Every structure is written in C-alpha cells, then in structure tokens.
Amino acid sequence: MRPLGINIFDRIKNFFLQKNALSRLMLINIVIWLICLFISVFTWLFNVSDISFVTKLFAVPADISSLTDKPWSIFTYMFLQEEFWHLFFNMLMLYYGGQIFLQYFTQKQLLLTYIFGGLFGALFFIMSFNIFPVFENMRDSAVALGASASVLSILIAAATYQPEYKLNLFLLGEVKMKWIAIIFVVIDLLSIPKGNSGGHIAHLGGALWGFLYAFMLRKDFDIYMIFKRQPRIKVKSRNTDNHHQRPKTDEQYNAERAQEQQEIDKILDKIAKNGYSSLSEKEKEYLFKQSKK
C-alpha cells in the first residue's frame, strides 16, 4: 500500500498532465501567479520597483480612458491572482465546479464559459464604476483582477442546468447545487458595500453569464455554436474545359461521328465472330461509353 501523500501527489500530477481545458486553465493561473511571485522577489532584492507594475499592466481598470490604453487587460485580468489564498480558493472552486460542469458539457464549453464569464465580470465592473455615483472618487484608481468571475460563471452554469444536483459537503451533508449558487450570489450582492466592491460586482457579472448560458441551453440554444468551424464547401463546375473549347464545324463533327461508328462496327463484328468474351477491357469500356451517349 502506497503512502497517502504519494497517492495525492500522483493524482495531482496526472491531472495536470491531461490535455483538457480544465487542467490547462488551472495550470495557466498557477504558472502566472508563480511568475508574479518570482518578479516580486527580484524587484524587492534590487529595490527597483514592486509587483504593482504587473497589476497596472494586466488588471482591468474601471476608468474607460485607461482601458483604451490597455484593451488586453479585459482578458488578462481573469488569469491574474493577487495572493496565495486568492489563487487557492479560486482554483479549488474551479476544480470542483469544473468537474460538475464537465458531466454535462464539453471541454470547449468550459473554456468559453470561463472566458465569457470573465468578460461579463469585467463589463459589470466597468459599467458600475462609471454609472453609480458612489464610485466616482475611486474610479480613476480602481482595478479588478482574479478568476473569481470566470469560476463563478462555471459554477452557476452547472447549477442552472442541473439545479437538483447534490453535493456532499463536510458537516452539512447533501446540499443541492441551486442552494449553493443562490448562497454565493446573495453573499456577493450583500458584500458590495462592505469592501472590495469591484470584485463582488465582477462576480455577479460572471454569475449572470453562467445563468444566461445554461438557461439558453435548456431552451436548446447554444450560443457558442457561432464559434464552430464550418466545413469549407468546394464547388466544382462540370465540364469547365468546354467553356474554353472552340465550337466544332459540321465537317469536324461528321468526321468524328464516322470514326466512332467505324470503331463500333469493328467491335460488333468481333462479337459476332468470336463472342463478347473475346473483347479486350479497353474495347468493352469503349462500347459501354458509346452506349451511354
């Protein structure tokens, strides 16, 4: 019997060696966090700057003019985690939420839900900070980062599609997915005035996309089908060479017909004398083609 620690290590290693969307998304988030961690060590040692320049470059800003200077941030922010526990809980939720999601959906749907959930989260964050007066004084400096909106989108999509799915939670026993989803949404909604307002608003944007996507699927409409590669249809015109041929004169046509008839008569004479089996394959094929004219 192998030690428990080795077994867990092997399971983690085998999971990340899988070539699927869930393991790749988690791996990307972890690797980016590690890169940022190493950068922070070197910037501290050389006393040149701090890790905040990474945040300024890749976190999505609430200010629209700043967003136009770095439009890529609307994508990059959803892979950027600030602290270890931020990363840990997001990846934990992504793993378990992703496992449930993949029981009903494909790897491609998981990837697209992650991305669109993140985009909806960023959209909610930006719109809220530019609409509500309470955020006016902090708009210029506010940024959002983290995978939470994307992760919650996956979790809410699974809960909307299969609301009666039961999870066995520690100390709580069996709990239906719909109650877990409702609790997450309510907590984020009530937490907006308590701090990290932008983060909670982004979470709600991601949750909304997850709900909308699963709701559309229950109505037999998959919006992701617009990303499906359509087969290329090749149109081959018939007898294209004929368009470039000069029309035949009556003399040419009659001469060709006479030659063909002469060849047919020759083959028919051979059949009359020696039977059909005496014909070569070429003669049989020629006779067959002429009979189709």
Q: What pLDDT sits at residue 227?
A: 79
DSSP 2-66: --HHHHHHHHHHHHHHS-SHHHHHHHHHHHHHHHHHHHHHHHHHHTS--THHHHHHHSEESSHHH
- Which is more confidently placed, 185 or 231? 185
CA pair distance 71, 105, nearest whole angstrom:
30
The yes-or-no verdict on residue 167 having pLDDT over 80 is yes
CA-to-CA dists, residue 142 to 59, 80, 84, 288, angstroms:
10, 15, 21, 82
pLDDT of residue 235: 52
Residue 31 tokens, joined: 């690797």
Quote the CA–CA distance of 7 and 103 in Å, as a whole number: 24
Q: Retrieve residue 258's tokens.
A: 């006479």
Strands (E), 49-118: 60-61
3-state helix, strand, coil in the chain (%, to 5): 75, 5, 25
Distance, CA of 59 to CA of 69 (rounded, Å): 12
Tell me if 169 sits within 8 A of 224, measured CB to CB. no
CATH number of 4-227: 1.20.1540.10
- The answer to whether 104 and 190 have CB atoms below 8 angstroms apart is no
Residue 80's nearest CA partner among 121, 31, 41, 23 is 31
User: In this predicted model, what pLDDT tens digit does every residue of 206-246 receive, in sequence order?
Assistant: 999 999 999 999 888 888 888 776 655 555 545 544 444 55
Most confident range (mean pLDDT) of 2-11, 45-54, 142-151, 251-260 is 142-151
Q: What is the rounded average pLDDT of the residues 142-149?
A: 93
Q: Which of 200, 210, 215, 26 is nearest to 112 (CA)?
A: 210
Q: Which long-range contacts (CB under 8 A, 24 or more apart) does 13-20 make?
A: 20/107
Angle formed by the axes of helices 107-131 and 197-218, to 10°? Answer: 130
**Span 262-281, pLDDT tens digits:** 788 777 877 777 766 667 76
What is the distance between the alpha carbons of residues 40 and 23, in angstroms, rounded to a whole number? 26
**Of all residues in the chain, what percent carry a pLDDT higher than 70?**
85
